[in-house]
Amino acid sequence: MANQDEADQGRDKPLLRALRGEILERPPFWLMRQAGRYLPEYLEVRRQAGDFLTLCYSPDLAVEVTLQPLRRFAMDAAILFADILVVPDALGQPLNYREGEGPVLEPVRSVAELSRLDMAGLHDRLAPVYETIRRLRQELPPSTALIGFAGAPWTVATYMVEGGGSRDFATIKAWAYGDPDGFGELMALLVDATTEYLEAQAEAGAEVVQLFDTWAGALPESAFGRWCVEPVAEIVRRFRKSHPEVPVIAFPRGAGVLYAGYAQATGVAGLGLDATVPLGWAAETLQTGATLQGNLDPLMLVTGGEPMRHEIGRILETLGNGPFIFNLGHGIIPATPPDHVAELAEFVRSWRA
């Protein structure tokens, strides 16, 4: 009976209800990058850890920074503290984070160079991440859902092929357009690794998983179908077979009008909207097929006050009458005053109250 109660209580978490398509009186909320450099207590732990990857791979510290924003703002979900680039790292492409420079990797740019990568060490390297998830499930308040995540193959591949961040994606496009079969081998490896990584997260206790496709907007229509939609659809197909109870959210940032049809084509339960997606269009065109999530401009959170409240109100009024999760349109930026996050939390929580 106790187990049954626990299971029922789990199902009642507001985030999970919204992802089943329920329209809640007050939409649940969480914020992408809710743990991070805008919080002084994060910077303190980050300093202790020394290196960003050490922080990701130390369950004690990763649990602590995951919980920090919840203590202040009581979001409806925690998102596992890790990074999308732990997957290439665990495939054998070591990763460095340089202060002010972002991630740096020794690039993989041909089928021959793919031989440097394999899945043999994947779960050993990622074991600390699974341990972080197990501990978080013990520590979270009963109504707070735990979100696991991974990068979508296209976005992860951009870092692997470019060797870090990029402005024009010239190198990866040259490979993907010029040698689609060869590039497809890298993408197939990422589909396998990402599916297994998400499955292991669900087994450790993740109740929702999100796929971040931050650079989806870099691709024209035909390539978008092949390199954004199809890999995500394949991951979702496999993941739903092994974990039908765990909903998937995808965030194809910058997809523009290609947001239409994306949820149907991939089978995701939740669709993350970037800040440029028009709200009325989203309500009419997208909300019939998926639970929507988003989409306050993170810079509005830096502004705060009346302009921010006005914009949040507009989002809630337009999307809050369908299945909806309030969030930002991209991650919190380091310049964000924590007081503004408190204002946001207060405003969303008291909406329609």
Q: Closer to ligand CP3 at the Cβ: 283 or 325?
A: 325
Q: Closer to ligand CP3 at the Cβ: 52 or 169?
A: 52
Closest distance to ligand CP3 from the beta carbon of 216 (Å): 10
Closest distance to ligand CP3 from the beta carbon of 337 (Å): 17
Contact 291, 23 (CB under 8 A): no
How far is it, in rounded angstroms, from Cα 3 to Cα 17? 19
Residue nearest to ligand CP3 (CB): 214
Q: Closer to ligand CP3 at the Cβ: 136 or 286?
A: 136
Phi, psi for 291 (deg, rounded to 5): -80, 130
Q: Closer to ligand CP3 at the Cβ: 159 or 318?
A: 159
Q: Which long-range contacts (CB under 8 A, 24 or more apart) does 52-61 make?
A: 52/83, 52/97, 53/83, 53/86, 53/89, 53/95, 53/97, 55/81, 56/81, 56/82, 56/83, 56/86, 56/128, 56/129, 57/86, 57/128, 57/129, 58/128, 59/128, 59/131, 59/132, 59/135
How far is it, in rounded angstroms, from Cα 66 to Cα 71? 10
How far is it, in rounded angstroms, from Cα 263 to Cα 233? 9
Region of 48 on the Ramachandran plot (φ > 0 left; ψ -120 to 50 alpha; else beta): alpha
How many CB atoms are located within 10 Å of the residue 191 CB?
20
Q: Closer to ligand CP3 at the Cβ: 35 or 122?
A: 35
**What is the DSSP secondary-structure string of 283-312?**
IIIITTTSEEEEEE-HHHHHH-HHHHHHHH
How far is it, in rounded angstroms, from Cα 39 to Cα 338? 7
Closest distance to ligand CP3 from the beta carbon of 52 (Å): 5
Contact 90, 79 (CB under 8 A): no
Residues in touch with ligand CP3 (CB under 6 A): 32-37, 46, 52, 79, 81, 83-85, 102-103, 149, 165, 212, 214, 331
Q: Closer to ligand CP3 at the Cβ: 255 or 283?
A: 255
Active site members: 33, 37, 46, 83, 159
Closest distance to ligand CP3 from the beta carbon of 250 (Å): 12
